[in-house]
Amino acid sequence: MTAVFALPPHVPPPGTAALRSEIRSFIAANLPAGDAVSRANSWSVADAGFSRALGAAGWLGMVWPRAWGGHERPAMDRYVVLEELLAAGAPVGAHWIADRQTGPLLLRYGTDAQRQKYLPGMARGEVYACIGLSEPGAGSDLAAVRSRAEKVPGGWRINGQKLWTSGAHRAHAMLALLRSEAGSERGAGLSQFLIDLDTPGITIRPVINLTGEHDFNELFFDDVMVGDDALVGGQGNGWAQVTAELALERSGPERYLSSHALLVTLIDAARASGSENAALRATIGKLVAELWTLRQMSMATAAKLAGGEDPVVEAAIVKDLGNDFEQRLPLAVQAVLDLDLDGSTELVRVLSHLLQVSPSFSLRGGTREILRGIIARGLGLR
Amino acid sequence: MSELRAQVVATAQALFAAAPDWPAIVAAGFPLLLVPESAGGFGGDWGDAFAVLQVAGAEALAQPLAEAMLAAHLIARAGVVAPHGLVTIGSGGGTIRAGKFTGHVAAVPWGRVAAQVVATIETNAAEPVLLLLPAGAVTEGASPAGEPRDRLDYRGVPAVRLGDADHALYGAFLRVGQSAGALGAALGLATAHVNARVQFGKPLAKLQAVQQSLAVLAEEVAAVQMAGAAAAAALDRSGGAYEMMAAKLRTNMAIHRGVALAHQVHGAIGFTQDYPLHRLTRRLMGWRSDFGGDSWAEMLGEQALSERGAGLWADMVRRGDG
Ligand SMILES: Cc1cc2nc3c(=O)[nH]c(=O)nc-3n(C[C@H](O)[C@H](O)[C@H](O)COP(=O)(O)OP(=O)(O)OC[C@H]3O[C@@H](n4cnc5c(N)ncnc54)[C@H](O)[C@@H]3O)c2cc1C
C-alpha cells in the first residue's frame, strides 16, 4: 500500500472552542459591511484598517517571539484564526503575505536588525510585504530568474524586473529572489533580498487583471542601491530559502476556503427563495463532504509544519485538491440553479465573479502541473 | 499509532496476505475487534477497525470481515449474547407480528453461508427497525467483484430487536476503510507497473502525462485515507454520523477518479484476469453502491440547508473542537 499522505488527523486541543469564539467576536465587531463579492475574494482584498485592528487585537504575528512584537502562541492557534477569518470572508489581503511568509522567513533566516526593523510593524498590521519571484522569463521555471544584485562597496546594486507581483502597490517591502552571482545558472547563485519599495530606482506599474481590477503589478529595478542589510539569509542560499517559503505559501487554509462565500450565499439564497430540491441538496452535500475532507487534510498538513517538518508533498496535494474544489464550485452552482447572470442578486454577483477568477487558482502559488510534478517526485517517479 | 494497533495491523497483514479462509480469520479474533472486552470481544476502537480494514482492502480479502465486525458490534451494543457462526448484515422489508418476521433481506454479503443476519428492516412503521434474524431461504446473487450478495426470504421466523437502525452509516464507514486500502494498493501496483513497463525506449514513469496521472491518483488516495482516519477519530470521540457520511461521499468521488486512472496507466494488462488490479478495482467500483452510495449527499445537504449559510462552517468546525 502506497502512502504519500500518512498524516494522523489533527485534533484541536482543549481551548480551541474558546479561541474560536474570541476571534469570531472580533470579526463580528470589526468586519466591514461589504458585498459578498468582497467576501469571496477574501485574501485578495486589502483593508489597512482591518489589518491594523487585527494587529492591535493580537491576531497577527501570533507565533512570533514577543521580542519582535509577536505573541508566542502555538502555530495551530494561528491556524484557527486564519480559518475563521477566511470562512467569514474578512479582508485580510493587506497583511496576508507578511504574516504568512515574509515574517516567518525573517525569523528563520534574518538578522536581529532585520527582525527589529520589520517584524513589530508587521505584527501591528502596518507593514506589508509582497512576493518577488516571477519575472517575464521565469514563471514555473523559477530558476530562470535573471534580475540581478551586484556587490558594490557598502551594499548591492539591483537591476531587473519582477512580474505578477500581487499587492506591490500597497506593500512596503518586497522579498525578492535575485541572481547575486554574475554568470551563475539555475538554482545556484541566487539570494533573497528584502527591499524597501520606496528606494529610489523602483518603478511599480499596475497590470490590470481580466476583471478590470488592479491586483498584480510589474516592478522595475533600475540601479537600485540597497545596503548589505537587505540580504536575507545566506548569500547564494536563495533557492533553498525559497523552497521553504513556498511550503508556507502552499499549506494554508486559503487554498480551499478562498471562495467559501459562494457556498454560504448559495445556501442563504436557496432558503430565501424556497428553491430547494433534491439536486441542490445532493450538490451541497457532496461539496460539504469535500470541504470537510480538505479541512482535515489542510489541518493535518499545518500540524506537520507546526511540528518543524517540511510537508512539501502534502502541501502540494492540499493545494491541488483545494484549487480543483474551488474551481468546480461555481460550475456546481450553475448545474443546479438556472440563474440570469445580470448582477441583480448577491448570489449572482458572487457566482459571476468566481466564474471569471477561478481559473487563476491553479496558477497562483504554483501551477497545477508544477504541483503534480512535486507529488510525482514524492512517488519516486522523477 | 498505538502499540496495540500496530500489533493488530501487523497480524492482519501477515494473515490477510495469505488469502485465509473464514475460520482462520475467526480464530485470529478479527470479527470481534469492535466488541468490548466485557462482552468477550477484543475491545478495539474505530481507529483500529479502520486500520485493519485498510489492510483487508489492500489485500483484496475475499471474506465478509467488515460485515461480521459490524454485526458483532451492533449485537454487543444491544446487549444481546453473540450467536455462533458467521453473522452478516443487510437491509430489507417486511412485517413483524408477535415477534415473528415475514419478509426479505436483499443483497446480503455471504448470505448463503451466514448463520444469522443483522438487518435494517422497513415496516409500515415510520422508522425502520434493526433485527437479528436466522438464516433465510437463499436466492443467490453476486456483486460486481463476484462476491456473494444473496437475497434471504423469511416466513414467520423469530426476530430479536437490536435497537437503532443505523447500521448503514457504520457500514459506509467500514467500506471507506476497505477503499482506502484498496485504492492505496492500486496506486502501489500502478507505480510499480509504470516503472517496469518500457515504451518509446524508456519506462512509462518518465513520461510526464503518466506522472501527472499518478499524482492525481495519489491525491485521491490521500483524500480517502484522511477522510477515513478523521471519521474514525470522530467516532472514537463520540458521534460521527456527519463524518461517516462525508467520508463515504468523498470516497465515492475518489473511486470514480482513482480507479479510472489506475487502469489507464496500466493499459491492457490491467484488464486481464491474471493481473491483480481487478481484485482491487472491481471491489472498489461495487463498494460505491454499498451502504448508501451518493444518497448520503442529500442528507448532508439537507442538514446544511436547515441553517443559514454561515452555519455550515460553524457546524463543521464545532464537531472537531471538543
Ligand atoms: C492572480 C495571480 C497572482 C500572482 N501573484 C504573484 C506574486 O505575488 N508574486 C509572484 O512572484 N508571482 C505571482 N504570480 C505568478 C505565478 O506564480 C505564475 O503565474 C506561475 O508560477 C506560473 O508562471 P507563468 O504564469 O509564467 O506560466 P508558465 O510557467 O509559462 O506556464 C504556463 C503553463 O505551462 C505549464 N508548464 C510550465 N512548465 C511546465 C512543466 N515543466 N511541465 C508541465 N507544464 C508546465 C504551466 O503549468 C502552465 O499551465 C501570480 C499569478 C497569478 C495568476
- How far apart CA A320 and CA A362 sit, in angstroms, is 7
- How far apart CA A73 and CA A65 sit, in angstroms, is 9
In 3D, which of A245, A260, A223 has the Cα closest to residue A38? A260
- How far apart CA B297 and CA B247 sit, in angstroms, is 11
- A370 CB within 6 A, ligand 1: yes
- How far apart CA B10 and CA A320 sit, in angstroms, is 33
Sign of CA dihedral B264, B269, B271, B277: negative
AA letter at A382:
R
B156: three-class secondary structure by DSSP: strand
Q: How far is A198 from chain B (nearest CA, A)?
A: 41
For the record, the C-alpha cell of A74 comes out as: 502555538
For CATH 1.10.540.10, the residue range(s) in chain A are 16-27+34-127
**Segments of chain A with pLDDT less than 70:** 1-3
Measure CB to CB from residue A263 to each of B245, B299, B312 and give the nearest one.
B312
Domains of chain B by residue range = 1-62, 85-166, 168-321
Touching check for A290 and chain B: CB below 8 Å?
Answer: yes
Which chain B residues are closer than 8 Å to A17 by Cβ? Answer: 318, 321-322
User: Does A379 sit within 8 Å of B294, measured CB to CB?
Assistant: no
For CATH 1.20.140.10, the residue range(s) in chain A are 251-378
Task: Enter the CATH code of domain A251-378.
Answer: 1.20.140.10
Q: What is the pLDDT of residues B110-163, one digit of tens each?
A: 999 999 999 999 999 999 999 999 999 999 999 999 999 999 999 999 999 998
| DSSP H or E run through A221 | strand A214-227
CATH classification of B85-166 is 2.60.40.790, yes or no?
no
Chain B's closest residue to A317, CA to CA, is B219
CB neighbours (10 Å) of residue A249? 21
Sign of CA dihedral B292, B297, B299, B300: positive
Q: What is the pLDDT of residues B219-267, one digit of tens each?
A: 999 999 999 999 999 999 988 999 999 999 999 999 999 999 999 999 9
Q: In the prediction, which pLDDT does A1 show?
A: 47
Cβ–Cβ under 8 Å, residues B197 and B203:
yes
Sign of CA dihedral B128, B132, B134, B135: positive
**Mean pLDDT of the region B188-197:** 98
- How far apart CA B50 and CA A366 sit, in angstroms, is 34
User: Does B221 sit within 8 Å of A4, measured CB to CB?
Assistant: yes
Looking at this predicted complex, what is its ipTM?
Answer: 0.97
Touching check for A381 and chain B: CB below 8 Å?
Answer: yes
Touching check for A32 and chain B: CB below 8 Å?
Answer: no
DSSP string, A244-267: HHHHHHHSSTHHHHTTHHHHHHHH
Q: Which of A161, A164, A372 to mutate to test the pocket of ligand 1 (most atoms within 8 A of CB)?
A: A164
DSSP string, A308-337: T---HHHHHHHHHHHHHHHHHHHHHHHHH-
Backbone angles phi, psi at A162, to 5 degrees: -110, 155
Non-local CB neighbours of B205 within 8 Å, separated by 6+ positions = A381, A382, B191, B194, B195, B211
User: Does B246 sit within 8 Å of A288, measured CB to CB?
Assistant: yes
Q: What is the pLDDT of residues B47-100, one digit of tens each?
A: 999 999 999 999 999 999 999 999 999 999 999 998 899 999 999 999 999 999
Q: What Å distances lie between residue B151 and A143, B136, B156, CA to CA?
A: 63, 8, 17
Q: What is the pLDDT of residues B7-57, one digit of tens each?
A: 999 999 999 999 999 999 999 999 999 999 999 999 999 999 999 999 999
Cβ–Cβ under 8 Å, residues A24 and A98:
no
- How far apart CA A349 and CA A262 sit, in angstroms, is 10
B200: three-class secondary structure by DSSP: coil
Q: Which of A140, A197, A357 to mutate to test the pocket of ligand 1 (most atoms within 8 A of CB)?
A: A140
Which chain A residues are closer than 8 Å to B194 by Cβ? Answer: 381
| A16-27+34-127 CATH pick, 3.40.50.2000, 3.30.360.10, 1.10.540.10, 3.40.50.150 | 1.10.540.10
Instruction: Domain A131-236: state its class.
Output: mainly beta
User: Does B249 sit within 8 Å of A286, measured CB to CB?
Assistant: yes
How many Å from the N-terminal Cα to the C-terminal Cα in chain A? Answer: 20
Q: Which band of pLDDT confidence, cut at 50, 70 and 90, is reported for residue B322?
A: low
Residue nearest to atom 50 of ligand 1 (CA): A364
User: Does B191 sit within 8 Å of A379, measured CB to CB?
Assistant: yes
Non-local CB neighbours of A34 within 8 Å, separated by 6+ positions = A45, A91
Please name the CATH architecture into which domain B168-321 falls.
Up-down Bundle (1.20)
Cβ–Cβ under 8 Å, residues A34 and A91:
yes
- A197 CB within 6 A, ligand 1: no
- How far apart CA B121 and CA A28 sit, in angstroms, is 48
Q: In the prediction, which pLDDT does A2 show?
A: 55
Q: Which of A101, A130, A367 to mutate to test the pocket of ligand 1 (most atoms within 8 A of CB)?
A: A367
Q: A265 CA distance to ligand 1 centroid (A)?
A: 30
